[in-house]
Amino acid sequence: PAQVQTELREKLAQISANKSLEELEESVGLLNISGPVDPFCTELINQLLSHIGYPKKHHLIGLHRFENDAPILNCNSTVKLGNTKYSLIGELGKGSYARVLKATRDGQPVALKQQRPAWQWEWYIVQELQSRLPPTKMGGYLHMSNGYIYKNGSILESEWAQYGSILSVVSKLKIAGKGLDIHLAMIFSIQMISIVEHLHKCKIIHGDIKPDNFVLHSIPSADVTVPCLKLIDFGRSIDMTLFPEGTTFTKVVTTDGFQCNEMKEGRPWTYQTDLYGLAGSIYCVLFYDYMKVVKKGKKWELSTKIPRYMKPTVWQELFTPLLNVESCENIPDLSALREILEKPYRTMELSTVNQSINTLRNILLNK
């Protein structure tokens, strides 16, 4: 793999040096990649960005680049990024890749994501998504207004999701002693499927789908077409348009509990990694817990039985194809899977759906 990776980088450098931008764009899909490719390799990603002539016009809106080091972000202080002043309120989380802070700009709450060294890939993916998706579909993805790129790091400003992640929402339901709720599970699941469905139509793989990366930005309504969830954190995403048609990956990701079945078995994968993460996120809103799977014969199954009052046949019809993808050439149709849930959801009593929503509202607003 290391040799293949080196060959690919050399090829990219050669092509970049000898071609105009138009020719570059045409040649991206014609790169002759043979052997395994690590889509998360930092060097490869930087090479791909320079290869396509990043930043292009649509990447520049809100992008600010500086020659100096990034300012230090201390909680309970103010900081100036470019010409914009932010009041830093507190740290929301610190992961292996980044630190996220809550701040305000002009009195409005925002989130700031700080990374060292600078990581422009997430900005690229979010802007690409915006240019590839119809505006009506953008409601399911976190919007980034400003990207500040410094010599030693990057700070990305995004909208603030006041109710936190789906993971924190279900733990609040759990703490409040609320039993499993089929109405909320259906609303959240339908929206999550729709978000991943439209992302994949843009030929983008998120690469890190899990309950922590879906945030609740508004209280849901009984109308599932009104987005209440947003997908966040595109730092590990893969843009399939930058690889030749038919490219597959064999890189094994070690994320706890979110390693797709193809990785476990050493088989090639593409969109399967997202489908597995989607299954895990749906499981979380269904059971208020992390998903565990077992292989029985040739089939992967949930290790937990779905209670009868939760319509087990409906959910099984959804989990089976998500956990047992035939091959990279036969990825299940997400709109058909979404319909599996939408059909029974449409027959549900509106008053009971609203009752579930009101219970959630009261818990989230501490009433």
User: Positive or negative CA dihedral for 278, 92, 112, 55?
Assistant: negative
**Bond prior to 312 in cis (omega within 30° of 0):** no
DSSP strands (E only) in 275-354:
293-296, 299-302
Taking alpha carbons only, the member of 185, 236, 172, 226 closest to residue 38 is: 236
User: Positive or negative CA dihedral for 17, 23, 28, 33?
Assistant: negative
Spatial distance between the Cα atoms of 2 and 229, rounded to a whole number of angstroms: 39
208 is catalytic: yes
Active-site residue (options: 69, 106, 181, 208)? 208
Which residues share a beta bridge with 108?
A: 105
Question: How far from chain centre, in Å, is Cα 238?
Answer: 11
Are 293 and 324 within 8 A, CB to CB?
no
Are 294 and 301 within 8 A, CB to CB?
yes
User: Is 56 marked as binding a ligand?
Assistant: no
Which residues are catalytic, by number? 208
> Which residues sit in the known binding site for ATP?
113
> Which residues sit in the known binding site?
113
